[in-house]
Amino acid sequence: MIYLVAGARPNFMKIAPVVKKLDKAGLLYKIIHTGQHYDADMSGSFFRDLDLPVPHIYLGVGSGTHAQQTGKVMMAFEEICFESKPSLVIVVGDVNSTVACALVSAKLGIPVAHVEAGLRSFDRSMPEEINRLLTDQIADLLFTTCEDADGNLRHEGIPDDKIYFVGNVMIDTLYNHLKMAEESEILKRLGFEEDGRVKDYALLTLHRPSNVDEQIKLENLLNVLNQVHQNIPVLFPAHPRTMKQIKKFDLIHLVRYIEDISSERSWVSGKNILMVPPLGYIDFLSLMSKAKLVLTDSGGIQEETTILGIPCLTLRENTERPITLREGTNRLVGSDPELILEETSRILGDRASEKKMPKYWDGKAAERIVDVLIGYLKK
Ligand code: UD1
């Protein structure tokens, strides 16, 4: 029995294609949802959109400090491993649930497979960087998305026979859902598409602690994004963490917050960016694929925009995904107002970017992973 761990929003897109291929190969598995993300629009809607089965086991750990959250996942996960020891545990990405379950498994002598291994921002102030470094040190099978990641792992002393360059499962999911995204009504509902014509708009996401946990940083960013909004309407589906910070710092006057998007169409002319609750996978993919520009501090969105050929400005000083800078449509702009405005104007003046495909971002990553797992489990 394989345990497949998912806890937070970006994990769900990564497990989806693996689940399909495990099913196809007839391998027995259980989905373990740690409950790190628990809101309907951070979790449940993704299981529906991605056609994932209801998790077999729900640990329900919820929010907390890093130590509390990681500790709670470890205790709950250890207990289920005691009840029934899996033959292998698959963890994905770099969230607290990833490192927590990898650590428990390694100590119980259960082999760990890490999907999306080897990415490094070389910035240890990022909680995800710590999670990535630790998970990779104790994993037995390391599945990578690019050759940079293989190099990083070798540099950290991971032997070659543990590293498998298989491609990008998040992109498998993107390809699997593009047709559904084309059929989404979200652009029409928001007034971005009328009489078959798509208007120009920018899509924004923001949730990294380094951008939203300090009042002055968040305030400055919202101010510059409001300036961008003067040139192109900016739609901002906000992570609950960001929403909470905006309220806490009393910055709500810097956004126009609409809770029920089905009733709103006239917002484009408003003076501030439009903040809406988090969107589901299909609607977000639809918006991303037709956007003139994406502004984000997310990791996965840097990869998705590369494949979609949509210009992406990353509101961070570094990235663990440099391949999207070299081979894709991504640019790092940090939080420098001048650079953000300059790059936005450049993109608005440009023709559309080309679609790019880094090696093995071809929709077949999960298939390669399951092939390796079959060989490994036979040994
Ligand atoms: C986590 C991941 C991050 C990932 C992000 C995607 C870690 C260290 N971070 O960050 O890598 O990019 O998910 O979303 O694991 N909250 C809710 N409802 C929810 C979930 C969270 O209200 O369903 C609020 C809580 O107030 C919580 C805060 O958001 O304290 C942060 O959630 P948490 O899971 O700790 O980290 P994220 O910022 O979501």
Backbone angles phi, psi at 144, to 5 degrees: -110, 160
Residue whose CB lies within 8 A of the most ligand 1 atoms, among 38, 126, 208, 241, for a mutation test: 241
Cα dihedral 15/16/17/21 (nearest 10): 90
Residue 314 domain-assigned (yes or no): yes
Note the pLDDT of residue 350: 82
Taking only the tens place, the pLDDT of each residue in 168-183 is 999 999 999 999 999 9
In this structure, which residue's CA is closest to atom 35 in ligand 1? 63
Q: Are residues 25 and 99 in the same domain?
A: yes
The verdict on 12 and 111 lying in the same domain is yes
Ligand 1 contacts CB of residue 8 (under 6 A): yes
Q: Which of 307, 322, 26, 351 is nearest to 149 (CA)?
A: 322
Classify residue 353: in a domain, yes or no: no
pLDDT at site 13: 98
- The yes-or-no answer on residue 177 being catalytic is no
In a domain, residue 117? The reply is: yes
Q: What is the pLDDT of residue 260?
A: 84
Residue 247 sits in the same domain as residue 291 = yes
Of 67, 168, 69, the closest CA to residue 117 belongs to 168
Q: What is the pLDDT averaged over residues 82-107?
A: 98
Task: Tell me if 223 is assigned to some domain.
Answer: yes
The verdict on residue 343 lying in a domain is yes
C-alpha radius of gyration, the chain, whole number: 20
Mean pLDDT of the chain: 95
- What is the Cα–Cα distance from 6 to 12, expressed in whole angstroms? 6
Q: How far apart are CA 339 and CA 165, in angstroms?
A: 35
Nearest partner of 146 among 367, 372, 357, judged by Cα: 357
Q: What pLDDT band is residue 266 in, cutting at 50, 70 and 90?
A: low
Q: Comparing C-alpha atoms, which of 280, 305, 277, 278 is closest to residue 291?
A: 305
CB atoms under 10 Å from CB of 84, counted, come to 10
Q: How many domains does the chain have?
A: 2
Residues 341 and 257 in one domain: yes
254 is a domain residue: yes
Same domain? For 340 and 201 the reply is yes
| Residues 124 and 195 reside in one and the same domain | no
What letter does residue 280 receive in the DSSP assignment? P
Q: What percent of the chain is predicted at pLDDT more than 90?
A: 92
Same domain for 196 and 47: no
For residue 240 and ligand 1, the question of a CB distance below 6 A is answered with: yes
Instruction: Examine the domain organization and report whether 109 and 56 are in the same domain.
Output: yes
- Residue 219 DSSP class: H
Stretch (H or E) spanning 377: helix 365-378
Q: Please give the residue range of the domain that contains residue 70.
A: 2-168+361-378
Atom of ligand 1 nearest to the CA of 39: 23
pLDDT at 267 over 70: no
Query: Average pLDDT, stretch 193-205?
Result: 94
191 and 127 in a common domain: no
Among residues 207, 229, 239, 253, the one annotated as catalytic is 207
Say if CB 334 and CB 315 are below 8 A apart: yes
Tell me whether residue 136 is in a domain. Answer: yes
Distance CA 46, CA 23 (A): 19
- Residue nearest (by alpha carbon) to ligand 1 atom 21: 37
Q: What is the CATH number of the domain that holds 111?
A: 3.40.50.2000
Please state, in angstroms and as integers, the Cα–Cα distance from residue 309 to each residue in 9, 115, 155, 301, following that order: 23, 24, 32, 12
Sort strands 88-92 and 2-6 into parallel, antiparallel or unpaired: parallel
- Do 192 and 230 belong together in one domain? yes
Contact criterion met (CB below 8 Å) for 296 and 211: no
- Answer with the residue of higher pLDDT: 331 or 352: 331
Q: What is the largest CA-CA distance in the chain?
A: 63
Question: How far is ligand 1, taken at its centre, from the CA of residue 206, in Å?
Answer: 12
Judge if 81 and 99 occupy the same domain.
Answer: yes
- Length of the chain, please? 379
Residue 265's pLDDT is: 61
C-beta pairs of 179-184 under 8 Å, 24+ apart in sequence: 180/49, 180/282, 181/282, 181/283, 181/285, 181/286, 181/289, 182/286, 182/289, 184/282, 184/283, 184/285, 184/286
Give a yes or no: residue 11 inside a domain.
yes
Burial 91-116 (b: 16+ CB within 10 A, else e): bbbbbbbbbbbbbbbbeeebbbbbbb
In whole angstroms, give the CA distance from residue 331 to residue 325.
6
User: Which tens digits make up the pLDDT trace of 201-220?
Assistant: 999 999 999 999 999 999 99
Same domain, 180 and 326: yes
CA–CA dist 28, 4 (Å, integer): 10
Site to substitute for ligand 1 among 45, 63, 304, most atoms within 8 A of C-beta = 63
Residue 244 has what pLDDT?
97
Look at residue 355 in the predicted model and tell me its pLDDT: 73
